[in-house]
Amino acid sequence: MGANKVDILFVIDASDSMSPCFQKLRDNLRRFIMPLNQASFSIRFGLLAYNAGGDGRQAIYEHTFIAGNAPNLVKGLYASSPDVGKYFTSDANQFLRALDSVRTQGDENTPLALDIASDFPFETPDESRRVIALFSNEKLETGILENEPLEKFPQVLQKIARRKISLYAYLPASNAAAMMTRLPKSIITSVEEGANCWDKVDFGQMLEQMGKSISVSSLQMTREPEYQQAVYGQNAWDTNVFVGAGDTRRDKILATGESAKLNMSKPLEWIHVKLFWRQNVDLDLHAIYSYYQDDKHVFFANRREPKVVLDKDEGVGERGGAVGRYKEENITISSLKGISQLLIATKNYTGDGCFADYDGKVVVETSNGDNITVPLTSQSRDVWCVIAKIDNSHPEAPEVKNLNRTCNSEPNVNAF
């Protein structure tokens, strides 16, 4: 009998809001897993990192397993004989490599992720302890479908109980989270909601307590009862639902005041800032920023500064209101290092009309696949419009914000 066997499946929210703390979670899991792997237990590690988005018609999901994030891996769980090696590994380094491959983006659907997790090919309960460890910084009631998945959530919890799975969950308190506390062999720990929720969490202590609890838990000497697979019907979904919609999901249009975090799953190689407008007016693209506290201004008369370069000057001398082709000016940012705040602005050299009249927009693209549009919507007739700001005050989670604020003199970074 495998008295010292453990199957531990880490279910990790990989949505955009987790970006600021995801590396911290990775680092702490590494410190937890490596000593555990050298203990007297025979351990298999599983991974299910999840995020969600939409293509305008339906929800689309990306799940990362030990074997990667190929769309057919969800379907493979429901094969008559799943390939266990795609979902569990006894090699801690293989688990950590899979975890390192995860990129944070989009939204989440935690109830669906728990349903998929509870269908994993665990060893039998009389041979091995079964453990799911869930980490999320969003309430179960939030996510791409909001409350809709909760209708069937009790069935997911019933399945976890019937399969003799110990559940360790770290997530914000809510009514749905309270339902989880009624599960046998569950430890539900509340964390604050939002991007900074892990700042007050002592990962080392938390994971140490989990390890101790697992080590003293007992095997279940009963036969596994029947249970319902795929409560949400994902075994019958088309694989297009699991295509990993990260690329489309990062296409965002921001309303005034809205922000979007940049994908930092790997270091940025470049950021392209593009100003488009269709009316025959003379607008110019400006980048105003501080570089290590030294004020910089890139525009048509000064096209190159450290890390920031403008390509050309479009629309020179155009003054009429007729609609023509889209004009385009481009700024390339090679790195945000040393830049805390960068204003994306335009100046109206024509002198008449308001900015919303020009059929204009700024598009921010990055090497990591972001495509963020900020429409030019200000109704003001001032000379300047600060269209957007790239806020890099937290380099682990830079974001683009739609400002659309105007002024009559050259903008100052500190004023925005």
- pLDDT the model gives residue 5: 87
Task: Evaluate whether 343 touches 282 at the Cβ level (below 8 Å).
Answer: no
Q: What angle do CA 139, 145, 147 make, to 5 degrees?
A: 55
Task: Evaluate whether 156 touches 113 at the Cβ level (below 8 Å).
Answer: no
399-407/259-261 β-pairing: antiparallel
The tokens for 85 are 């090696």
In CATH, the architecture of 250-415 is Sandwich (2.60)
The CATH fold assigned to 5-246 is Rossmann fold (3.40.50)
Rounded Cα distance, 271 and 370, in Å: 9
Cα→Cα distances 106→175, 248, 370, 379, Å: 24, 10, 11, 31
What's the chain look like in SS3?
A: CCCCEEEEEEEEECCHHHHHHHHHHHHHHHHHHHHHHCCCCEEEEEEEEEEEEECCCCEEEEEEECCECCCHHHHHHCCCCCCHHHCEECCHHHHHHHHHCCCCCCECCHHHHHHHHCCCCCCCCCCCEEEEEEECCCCCCCCCCCCHHHHHHHHHHHHHHHCCEEEEEEECCCHHHHHHCCCCCEEEEECCCCCCHHHHCCHHHHHHHHHHHHHHCCCCCCCCCCCCCCCCCHHHCCHHHHCCCHHHHCEEECCCCCEEECCCCCCCCCEEEEEEEEECCCEEEEEEEEECCEEEEEECCECEECCEEECCCCCCCCCCCCEEEEEEEEEEECCCCCEEEEEEEEEECCCCCCHHHHCCEEEEEECCCCEEEEECCCCCCCCEEEEEEEECCCCCCCEEEEEEEEECCCCCHHHC
| pLDDT bucket at 84, cuts 50 / 70 / 90 | very high
The tokens for 312 are 């050309």
Choice between 314 and 285, residue whose per-residue pLDDT is larger = 285
Instruction: List 341's β-bridge partners, or say none.
Output: 391
Lowest mean pLDDT among 170-174, 221-225, 286-290, 378-382: 221-225
- pLDDT the model gives residue 307: 94
Domain with CATH 2.60.60.30 in the chain: 250-415
Instruction: List 69's β-bridge partners, or say none.
Output: none
Q: Residues of 347-362 as b/e, b for ≥16 C-beta within 10 angstroms?
A: bbbbeeebbeebebbb
- Residue whose structure tokens are 């989440």: 108
- pLDDT the model gives residue 322: 46
| pLDDT bucket at 221, cuts 50 / 70 / 90 | low
Lowest mean pLDDT among 25-39, 79-93, 103-117, 364-378: 25-39
- pLDDT the model gives residue 37: 57
Rounded Cα distance, 391 and 404, in Å: 15
Q: What are phi and psi of 236, to 5 degrees?
A: -105, 0
Torsion of CA 70, 76, 82, 83, to 10 degrees: -20
- The residue among 201, 136, 228 whose CA lies nearest residue 174 is 136
Choice between 403 and 352, residue whose per-residue pLDDT is larger = 403
Rounded Cα distance, 75 and 127, in Å: 26
Domain with CATH 3.40.50.410 in the chain: 5-246
Cα→Cα distances 186→19, 132, 141, 175, 288, Å: 27, 10, 19, 16, 52
* pLDDT tens track for 318-373: 544 445 567 899 999 999 999 999 999 999 887 667 899 888 999 999 988 788 89
CA atoms within 13 A of residue 312's CA, in its CB half-sphere: 7
* pLDDT tens track for 125-182: 888 889 999 999 899 998 888 788 899 999 999 999 999 999 999 999 999 999 999 9
